[in-house]
């Protein structure tokens, strides 16, 4: 008999995401590892039983003082994994909406010293307590919407020392929010004004002044770079990523977002874990990503938030056999705290099926940030991170825009609903 301190019963549709290879590719992205009339049992923050209600009644005993919750015939899925966020910054850019409506692009606004550079100034000047408090509030709203693990990129200091400061805050945020956070060094987010005519020197400064400290103090798991005209060339991106790999980091690229920059083919050539955005990637790019096994991290709300005509090429990527993950791209440019909303756009903009979108936001997203085996699935022995919704099946998560979870659990503990710190 299995002992448990928490039992969840009356789950109408349980999507475990636990069967199949990782990452999922092609038709395997539609395999949800579903159990109907299901139950879960948790002990010490880990799943100790995953199966049907009938099995649970036979095999599981609730400990004295343990708790039981009926999901009311609703749906339970793994905690969402958000594989791409720029959530660590100061200030906001709500005032940019008018500029965007007037036709200014992200790159136009950046060239005028606004946009990203406005956030860089605010972040450089913010005290550590302001940065921690504002970021923690965002992370708490994200977890209330079902995100239980996410990536956090640096990238709004754009000096070696400032970037190290941002990375050093990520373990504090993880401790204070209970979220599983993966740190990515994005010192090459943009060329800072001080180096506007010397981008190669900035890349050299990142390599000589930031990478050694990151490696020594284990400040980041991944290194990323923004490979686009006006940002970093393919050659500069490659120089930084090769040095980061030597320093023991995994590799990512912001690739082919505004134009076909060559970032996707660079990601394939270097064997990067992921290439991200990829709005302008070609059929040939998709072929090389698929054959290199590079995960495409798509951010379907970013073109929406930029009034761009193009949509993320989700359907094309899946059909080409590229492993696909989806994320929020939470930044001051696209303020997205809700993974259920990301799922809706993954379906209605990027044309993934609801099952593919759920795979992309859980098991494949975990793979994209090196958390396979730790996040994105519901299985015995795994951390009990899961989300319950009052809906008849998992397909309704993207189908119903703006859906809010009924309950979110992280390590077997119930997360307070959004805006409620006392629950």
Q: Which of residues 60 and 278 has its CB atom nearest to Zn ion in the complex?
A: 278
Nearest approach, Cβ of residue 206 and Zn ion (Å): 17
Residues 152-191 that bind Zn ion (CB under 5 A): none
Those residues whose C-beta lies under 8 Å from the C-beta of residue 310, and which sit 6 or more positions away, are 279, 280, 303
Residues 317-336 that bind Zn ion (CB under 5 A): 329
Q: Which of residues 280 and 385 has its CB atom nearest to Zn ion in the complex?
A: 280
Q: Which of 412, 415, 375, 417 is nearest to 82 (CA)?
A: 375
Q: Which of residues 186 and 288 has its CB atom nearest to Zn ion in the complex?
A: 186
Q: Which of residues 77 and 186 has its CB atom nearest to Zn ion in the complex?
A: 186
Buried b (16+ CB within 10 A) or exposed e, 331-362: bbbbbbbbbbbbbbbbbbbbbbbbbbbbbbbb
Q: Cis omega (within 30 of 0) on the bond before 348?
A: no
Q: Which of residues 316 and 329 has its CB atom nearest to Zn ion in the complex?
A: 329
Nearest approach, Cβ of residue 150 and Zn ion (Å): 13
Cα–Cα distance, 116 to 26 (Å, whole number): 36
Q: Which of 389, 275, 411 is nearest to 339 (CA)?
A: 389
Q: On the CB side of 233, how many CA atoms lie within 13 Å of its CA?
A: 7
Determine the size of the site formed for Zn ion (CB under 5 A): 1
Nearest approach, Cβ of residue 350 and Zn ion (Å): 16
Q: Which of residues 257 and 395 has its CB atom nearest to Zn ion in the complex?
A: 257
Residue nearest to Zn ion (CB): 329
Q: Which of residues 159 and 331 has its CB atom nearest to Zn ion in the complex?
A: 331
Cα–Cα distance, 192 to 309 (Å, whole number): 29
Cα–Cα distance, 149 to 178 (Å, whole number): 9
Q: Quick check: 119 and 156 in contact, CB under 8 A?
A: yes
Altogether, the residues listed in the chain come to a count of 423
Q: Quick check: 239 and 188 in contact, CB under 8 A?
A: no
Which residues in 203-273 belong to E strands, given as ranges? 222-227, 250-255
Binding mask of the shown chain, residues 357 to 386, with x at each position contacting Zn ion by CB under 5 A: ------------------------------
Q: Which of 86, 146, 147, 88 is nearest to 334 (CA)?
A: 86
Binding mask of the shown chain, residues 285 to 324, with x at each position contacting Zn ion by CB under 5 A: ----------------------------------------
At 232 the three-state DSSP class reads strand
Q: Residue 248's CB: how many other CB atoms inside 10 A?
A: 13
Alpha helices in 312-374 (DSSP H): 314-319, 339-348, 354-360, 363-368
Cα–Cα distance, 10 to 69 (Å, whole number): 9
Q: Which of residues 329 and 356 has its CB atom nearest to Zn ion in the complex?
A: 329
Cα–Cα distance, 248 to 227 (Å, whole number): 21
Judged by the rule CB under 5 A, the positions of this chain that interact with Zn ion are 329
């Amino acid at each position: 008999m299995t002992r448990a301190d928490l039992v969840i019963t009356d789950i109408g549709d349980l999507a475990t995401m636990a069967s199949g290879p990782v990452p999922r590719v092609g038709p395997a992205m539609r395999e949800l590892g579903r159990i109907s009339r299901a139950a879960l049992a948790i002990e010490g923050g880990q799943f100790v039983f995953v199966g049907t209600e009938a099995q649970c009644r036979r095999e599981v005993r609730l400990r004295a003082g343990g708790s039981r919750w009926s999901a009311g015939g609703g749906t339970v899925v793994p905690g969402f994994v958000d594989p791409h966020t720029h959530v660590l910054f100061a200030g906001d850019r709500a005032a940019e909406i008018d500029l965007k409506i007037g036709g200014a692009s992200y790159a136009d606004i950046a060239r005028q010293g606004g946009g990203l550079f406005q956030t860089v100034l605010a972040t450089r000047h913010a005290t550590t307590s302001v940065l921690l408090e504002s970021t923690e509030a965002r992370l708490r709203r994200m977890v209330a919407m079902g995100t239980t693990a996410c990536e956090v990129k640096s990238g709004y200091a754009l000096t070696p020392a400032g970037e190290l400061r941002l990375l050093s805050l990520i373990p504090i945020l993880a401790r204070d929010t209970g979220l599983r956070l993966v740190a990515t060094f994005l010192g090459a987010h943009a060329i800072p004004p001080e180096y506007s005519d010397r981008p190669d020197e900035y890349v050299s400064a990142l390599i000589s002044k930031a990478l050694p400290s990151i490696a020594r103090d284990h400040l980041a798991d991944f290194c990323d770079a923004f490979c686009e005209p006006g940002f970093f060339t393919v050659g500069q991106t490659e120089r930084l990523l090769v040095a980061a790999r030597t320093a023991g980091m995994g590799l990512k690229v912001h690739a082919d977002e505004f134009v076909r920059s060559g970032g996707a083919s660079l990601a394939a050539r270097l064997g990067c874990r992921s290439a991200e955005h990829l709005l302008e990637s070609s059929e040939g790019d998709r072929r090389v990503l698929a054959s290199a096994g590079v995960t495409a991290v798509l951010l379907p709300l970013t073109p929406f938030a930029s009034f761009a005509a193009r949509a993320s090429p989700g359907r094309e990527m899946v059909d080409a056999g590229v492993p696909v993950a989806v994320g929020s791209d939470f930044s001051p440019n696209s303020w997205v705290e809700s993974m259920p909303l990301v799922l809706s756009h993954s379906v209605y903009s990027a044309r993934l099926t609801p099952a593919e979108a759920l795979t992309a936001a859980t098991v494949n997203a975990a793979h994209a940030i090196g958390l396979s085996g730790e996040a994105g699935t519901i299985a015995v022995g795994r951390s009990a991170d899961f989300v319950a919704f009052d809906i008849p099946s998992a397909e309704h998560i993207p189908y119903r825009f703006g859906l809010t979870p009924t309950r979110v659990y992280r390590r077997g503990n119930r997360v307070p609903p959004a805006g409620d710190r006392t629950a």
